[in-house]
A and B are shown apart, each in its own frame.
Chain A
């Protein structure tokens, strides 16, 4: 961290108070001179989307030949094949039609699916399960940091306040921890709003910087450093008039907007390595629906946001990016009395990237006969989420030592990434 702060001072932008005009427009410069004079050596980017509420993996990617599933879900089950709604992926698994924009990417082997993924801890509490997944320690409640935050520490690149960014209004547990991270809900808001009093904007900003630097609250002090650094970096970047490339069209939803801003940050080349955002609406206890309904709505939003993002990145940048979805657990095999599903165990996730061992449904899914279920009711977890997360971190971010990310994890990877 000291390295970065020294760097920023060296670049002359920490002396904020003197003159706004004197701040080098180095973010814009970096964007303009992408090929030369790059301020940050181009890094790999991992994008994570947390699907909060627990996605029904059996509806997202349905083992459509499973007679047990069919009988357990009289009004939720859909068939695959001609005339039928599910998109047949491999003769056994069918993709929910709302994920149809994933189909070409799956065929190009850029998307891999892991089915039966979940946590070894069988809690069915959203809060706990998310907490465990984000901390990366499924049996330790006391972990105060998130696995993605620890990943930043291991990478140690320490170059930019934008190393790890969460496109959320508040910091997610995944990014809690001692390494500097930031949460932005909207890049456009990232400025000190003293425009009506232009005459002393610099002084005002300088005063705040000093005030926060002296506070006895270390949280306020450390966070403020990040705030001011980040603000300076975004100052001259034209975030307001962003036009997506290659005709990408983002859904006009919170997730669509978040994905667009992640693409913006990647293209601005400000040193982003880990991006995080979240997507809610997966807790489908009531009226889950089939072709339409709450599940289909969320699935459309998720898949269209991701594919727009991927399109927007275009050729070269796609090589640097891997995207992974995650959800805290799956849902009951049997539908409940209110046209939905309750909290279960395993779910599935999607991994997108050019280094991904794609076009495959990984993992083990046995027939959903009662004797094969966990507690006689739920799809059992056959792949520990840590196996997948650590493999992605290893192959994409080159974090070989997964003991820091997942201290209790001793398992092996399942080959979701190309070796």
Chain B
């Protein structure tokens, strides 16, 4: 069996099992004490394995159910929790995406914003503003020329890399749970890349703040997001300045000065006014503070008030992005010298990578949050205490547990399950692995009400399709992404900090359902260029003895451990259509006339067996695996209701 899988699945390398005595952020797990209660729920081992795979990966690969049964369900899960499988094959696919390993500073340098490009280009080419304004020099052309000349990339190229890597990781990573959790936390701590000012930082946000901490400890994860330039910019905390801070207390004076300069039209006065307005463009901003409590930790019913929101915002004044991230920023040396000096450190400034705690923006007076007093002068540590308070709060334990249960168990998870998970969350200091272990060891996880009850999101649907077809390469992830968008999920672009709603009702509506059905058909009719899969290989190049047999075989292959009876019954007429022969004949003639340029190297592109041997094809004894009928059948199975569920 093992040998067989290896031969068939070069991409999904078998794991090397080294899990003895695992240690999870201080909470040791006794491997032998872990037992999944699926038998009590009436599931066979194979059914249980399929359920496990459906919930903790982006969908099974061919024969993966057998593989997990062979390995042992508990062992497989612990292996996924440890997220240390070799991912060389994936990394090989990602190697041409240059931005993925860049720091934020490098990204700013290699992918400067449009405004920055224009400024630099005008300086270098000695183009004056008037030339751009009166149209004698085309703005776009100037920017494009400059970009080309210096080898700079565009913002679109940057986020295309982000999107492509997400699709490739989800499809090919051996550490599937890590990718599922990264996706989950991204949606929980959602940022949108609609705006480049924070979208620029999304790559490092996902990589350094989320993936790195996705299976660690909630408090650590929370603080990583709080310090990330992406979050600091997205919810405006980077600009929030305390009223009682050194910068903030001159606000009224600043306003007065601007007022006085208003009638002075000299260039110097205008310049000064601009500077003052920039200074004024700071003040307390509650946006992050509110979402931090409502969406990231306590939940909207978590027992906080508007007063708490304001107080949290005050605590977090001064949490901002280091002002000169780029290595080649002329101001960088000066800023580094300033903020890294012993004097600044003594005063209470904190500089860690991209993050800066700017004491001069911080409101240093006393605050009270959820009844807890934060005495004056708490500085940076006060923020850490706040995050500790929020991350370990019972409301947070419940809120996070419920969200996890909704994602992994059902849209309406039982309260008993949430309570168990929340208890673990509190007992184990927010250890995410422990919370997941509690969930998967609970009977509620395995209950018949939960199995197959989650509807795949469009992203999950697309990736699970890639995985079950054992797609060996996806050379146009952007086209695949267009389909995901069409089905109702524009990944990385969900504008509200809530993230996408995680329930079936959100994903399934009259038009999205049609698009989902069309997706399966598009995949198998080669309308999505760049997908390389081999339907015959899925069945080990064995020819099914009849069309009916082929249907049965492929239903089982594509819908492992599902009841496929109704699907088979409903699709059989498709094969037994008395006019099929003449229709296929006609269609193959039509197909022959068509330009084959969209086929893009799909090994299934050739329909010659139909043309040359249509009778045999209809009787099903020869070449059915390579016919367009099989593609159609597979397309329909992918569009079937069973395949929409996970």
Which of A24-32, A33-41, A209-217, A297-305 forms part of the interface with chain B? A209-217
Whether, in the assembled complex, B125 has its beta carbon less than 8 Å from a beta carbon of chain A, the answer is: no
Whether, in the assembled complex, B8 has its beta carbon less than 8 Å from a beta carbon of chain A, the answer is: no
When the two chains form their complex, are residues A219 and B508 in contact, meaning their CB atoms are under 8 A apart? yes
**Cβ contacts under 8 Å, B632 to chain A:** 194, 197, 200, 204
**In the complex, which of the residues B241, B453, B511, B515 has the most CB atoms of chain A within 10 Å of its own CB atom?**
B511
When the two chains form their complex, are residues A375 and B506 in contact, meaning their CB atoms are under 8 A apart? no
Q: With A125-B290, A204-B574 as given contacts, are A196 and B591 in contact (CB-CB < 8 Å)?
A: yes
Q: With A193-B518, A215-B642 as given contacts, are A170 and B509 in contact (CB-CB < 8 Å)?
A: yes
Q: With A196-B591, A285-B236, A338-B239 as given contacts, are A74 and B583 in contact (CB-CB < 8 Å)?
A: no
Query: Which residue of chain A has the shortest Cβ distance to B510 in the bound complex?
Result: A182
Whether, in the assembled complex, B567 has its beta carbon less than 8 Å from a beta carbon of chain A, the answer is: yes
Proximity bits, A145-174, B CB within 8 Å = 1, else 0: 000000000000000010000000111000
When the two chains form their complex, are residues A230 and B586 in contact, meaning their CB atoms are under 8 A apart? no
Q: With A200-B583, A203-B577, A223-B510 as given contacts, are A127 and B496 in contact (CB-CB < 8 Å)?
A: yes
Residue in A127, A200, A219, A342 whose CB lies within 8 Å of B505: A219
**Cβ contacts under 8 Å, B507 to chain A:** 170
Task: Give chain B interface residues in 545-573, CB to chain A under 8 Å.
Answer: 566-567, 570-571, 573
Which of A78-86, A184-192, A267-275, A359-367 forms part of the interface with chain B? A184-192
Which of B160-168, B279-287, B326-334 forms part of the interface with chain A? B279-287
**Cβ contacts under 8 Å, A182 to chain B:** 509-511
Residue in B290, B486, B510, B515 whose CB lies within 8 Å of A226: B510
When the two chains form their complex, are residues B455 and A169 in contact, meaning their CB atoms are under 8 A apart? no
When the two chains form their complex, are residues A220 and B510 in contact, meaning their CB atoms are under 8 A apart? no
**In the complex, which of the residues A127, A199, A280, A342 has the most CB atoms of chain B within 10 Å of its own CB atom?**
A199
Closest Cβ of chain B: how far from A331's Cβ, in Å?
12
When the two chains form their complex, are residues B641 and A217 in contact, meaning their CB atoms are under 8 A apart? yes
Residue in B498, B509, B636 whose CB lies within 8 Å of A127: B498
Query: Roughly how many angstroms separate A211 CA and B566 CA in the complex, as a whole number?
Result: 7
Query: Roughly how many angstroms separate A221 CA and B513 CA in the complex, as a whole number?
Result: 10
Proximity bits, A104-144, B CB within 8 Å = 1, else 0: 00000000000000000001111110000000000001000
Closest Cβ of chain B: how far from A50's Cβ, in Å?
13
**Cβ contacts under 8 Å, B584 to chain A:** 199
**Cβ contacts under 8 Å, B228 to chain A:** none
Query: Roughly how many angstroms separate A215 CA and B580 CA in the complex, as a whole number?
Result: 27
Whether, in the assembled complex, A176 has its beta carbon less than 8 Å from a beta carbon of chain B, the answer is: yes
Closest Cβ of chain A: how far from B381's Cβ, in Å?
25
Proximity bits, B517-530, A CB within 8 Å = 1, else 0: 11001100101000
Query: Roughly how many angstroms separate A286 CA and B240 CA in the complex, as a whole number?
Result: 11
Whether, in the assembled complex, B251 has its beta carbon less than 8 Å from a beta carbon of chain A, the answer is: yes
Query: Roughly how many angstroms separate A211 CA and B511 CA in the complex, as a whole number?
Result: 17
Whether, in the assembled complex, B434 has its beta carbon less than 8 Å from a beta carbon of chain A, the answer is: no
Query: Roughly how many angstroms separate A184 CA and B584 CA in the complex, as a whole number?
Result: 33
When the two chains form their complex, are residues B641 and A211 in contact, meaning their CB atoms are under 8 A apart? yes
Whether, in the assembled complex, B255 has its beta carbon less than 8 Å from a beta carbon of chain A, the answer is: yes
Whether, in the assembled complex, B605 has its beta carbon less than 8 Å from a beta carbon of chain A, the answer is: no
When the two chains form their complex, are residues B512 and A183 in contact, meaning their CB atoms are under 8 A apart? yes
Query: Roughly how many angstroms separate A198 CA and B584 CA in the complex, as a whole number?
Result: 10
**Cβ contacts under 8 Å, B320 to chain A:** none
**Cβ contacts under 8 Å, A221 to chain B:** 641
Whether, in the assembled complex, A247 has its beta carbon less than 8 Å from a beta carbon of chain B, the answer is: no
**Cβ contacts under 8 Å, B514 to chain A:** 189-192, 227, 231
Whether, in the assembled complex, A311 has its beta carbon less than 8 Å from a beta carbon of chain B, the answer is: no
**Cβ contacts under 8 Å, B428 to chain A:** none
Query: Roughly how many angstroms separate A285 CA and B236 CA in the complex, as a whole number?
Result: 8
Chain B interface, DSSP helix/strand/loop, else mixed: helix
Whether, in the assembled complex, B294 has its beta carbon less than 8 Å from a beta carbon of chain A, the answer is: yes
Query: Roughly how many angstroms separate A106 CA and B240 CA in the complex, as a whole number?
Result: 40
Residue in B282, B574, B577 whose CB lies within 8 Å of A338: B282
Whether, in the assembled complex, A289 has its beta carbon less than 8 Å from a beta carbon of chain B, the answer is: no
When the two chains form their complex, are residues A220 and B241 in contact, meaning their CB atoms are under 8 A apart? no
Query: Roughly how many angstroms separate A231 CA and B511 CA in the complex, as a whole number?
Result: 9
Whether, in the assembled complex, A339 has its beta carbon less than 8 Å from a beta carbon of chain B, the answer is: yes
Query: Roughly how many angstroms separate A190 CA and B527 CA in the complex, as a whole number?
Result: 17
Whether, in the assembled complex, A292 has its beta carbon less than 8 Å from a beta carbon of chain B, the answer is: no
Closest Cβ of chain A: how far from B535's Cβ, in Å?
16
When the two chains form their complex, are residues B645 and A217 in contact, meaning their CB atoms are under 8 A apart? yes
Residue in A123, A185, A210, A215 whose CB lies within 8 Å of B511: A185
**Cβ contacts under 8 Å, A193 to chain B:** 518, 521-522, 527
Query: Roughly how many angstroms separate A343 CA and B285 CA in the complex, as a whole number?
Result: 10
When the two chains form their complex, are residues A211 and B508 in contact, meaning their CB atoms are under 8 A apart? no
Residue in A52, A169, A199, A210 whose CB lies within 8 Å of B583: A199
When the two chains form their complex, are residues A337 and B512 in contact, meaning their CB atoms are under 8 A apart? no
Whether, in the assembled complex, B495 has its beta carbon less than 8 Å from a beta carbon of chain A, the answer is: yes
When the two chains form their complex, are residues B281 and A338 in contact, meaning their CB atoms are under 8 A apart? yes
When the two chains form their complex, are residues B574 and A128 in contact, meaning their CB atoms are under 8 A apart? no
When the two chains form their complex, are residues A207 and B570 in contact, meaning their CB atoms are under 8 A apart? yes
Closest Cβ of chain B: how far from A73's Cβ, in Å?
12
When the two chains form their complex, are residues B567 and A211 in contact, meaning their CB atoms are under 8 A apart? yes
When the two chains form their complex, are residues B641 and A212 in contact, meaning their CB atoms are under 8 A apart? yes
Whether, in the assembled complex, A318 has its beta carbon less than 8 Å from a beta carbon of chain B, the answer is: no
When the two chains form their complex, are residues A214 and B570 in contact, meaning their CB atoms are under 8 A apart? yes
Query: Roughly how many angstroms separate A128 CA and B294 CA in the complex, as a whole number?
Result: 10
Proximity bits, A37-52, B CB within 8 Å = 1, else 0: 0000000000000001
When the two chains form their complex, are residues B455 and A219 in contact, meaning their CB atoms are under 8 A apart? yes
Query: Roughly how many angstroms separate A352 CA and B293 CA in the complex, as a whole number?
Result: 39
Task: Give chain B interface residues in 460-519, CB to chain A under 8 Å.
Answer: 486, 488, 495-496, 498, 504-515, 517-518
Whether, in the assembled complex, B300 has its beta carbon less than 8 Å from a beta carbon of chain A, the answer is: yes
**Cβ contacts under 8 Å, A285 to chain B:** 236, 285, 287
**Cβ contacts under 8 Å, B591 to chain A:** 196
When the two chains form their complex, are residues A337 and B515 in contact, meaning their CB atoms are under 8 A apart? no
Query: Roughly how many angstroms separate A240 CA and B70 CA in the complex, as a whole number?
Result: 54
**Cβ contacts under 8 Å, A246 to chain B:** none
Closest Cβ of chain B: how far from A378's Cβ, in Å?
10
Query: Roughly how many angstroms separate A219 CA and B503 CA in the complex, as a whole number?
Result: 11
When the two chains form their complex, are residues B574 and A203 in contact, meaning their CB atoms are under 8 A apart? yes
Task: Give chain A interface residues in 213-242, CB to chain B under 8 Å.
Answer: 214-215, 217, 219-221, 223-224, 226-227, 230-231
Query: Roughly how many angstroms separate A337 CA and B236 CA in the complex, as a whole number?
Result: 11
When the two chains form their complex, are residues A337 and B241 in contact, meaning their CB atoms are under 8 A apart? yes
Whether, in the assembled complex, B128 has its beta carbon less than 8 Å from a beta carbon of chain A, the answer is: no
When the two chains form their complex, are residues B587 and A199 in contact, meaning their CB atoms are under 8 A apart? yes
When the two chains form their complex, are residues A197 and B285 in contact, meaning their CB atoms are under 8 A apart? no
Query: Roughly how many angstroms separate A201 CA and B373 CA in the complex, as a whole number?
Result: 69
Whether, in the assembled complex, A7 has its beta carbon less than 8 Å from a beta carbon of chain B, the answer is: no
Task: Give chain B interface residues in 582-641, CB to chain A under 8 Å.
Answer: 583-584, 586-587, 590-591, 594, 628, 632, 636, 639-641
Q: With A208-B517, A215-B641 as given contacts, are A124 and B306 in contact (CB-CB < 8 Å)?
A: yes
Query: Roughly how many angstroms separate A230 CA and B239 CA in the complex, as a whole number?
Result: 49
Query: Roughly how many angstroms separate A205 CA and B580 CA in the complex, as a whole number?
Result: 15
When the two chains form their complex, are residues B570 and A200 in contact, meaning their CB atoms are under 8 A apart? no
Closest Cβ of chain A: how far from B599's Cβ, in Å?
11
Given A214-B570, A336-B285, A337-B284, 4 more contacts at CB 8 Å? A185-B486, A192-B517, A207-B570, A221-B641
Could you tell me which A residues sit within 8 Å of B by CB distance? 52, 74-75, 123-128, 141, 161, 169-171, 176, 181-185, 189-194, 196-200, 203-204, 206-208, 210-212, 214-215, 217, 219-221, 223-224, 226-227, 230-231, 280, 285-286, 336-339, 342-343, 375
A-B contact pairs, 28 of them (CB 8 A): A124-B306, A125-B290, A171-B509, A176-B505, A183-B511, A184-B510, A185-B488, A190-B511, A190-B514, A194-B521, A200-B574, A200-B583, A203-B577, A207-B573, A208-B636, A214-B570, A217-B453, A217-B504, A220-B513, A227-B514, A280-B495, A285-B236, A336-B285, A337-B281, A337-B282, A337-B284, A337-B285, A339-B281
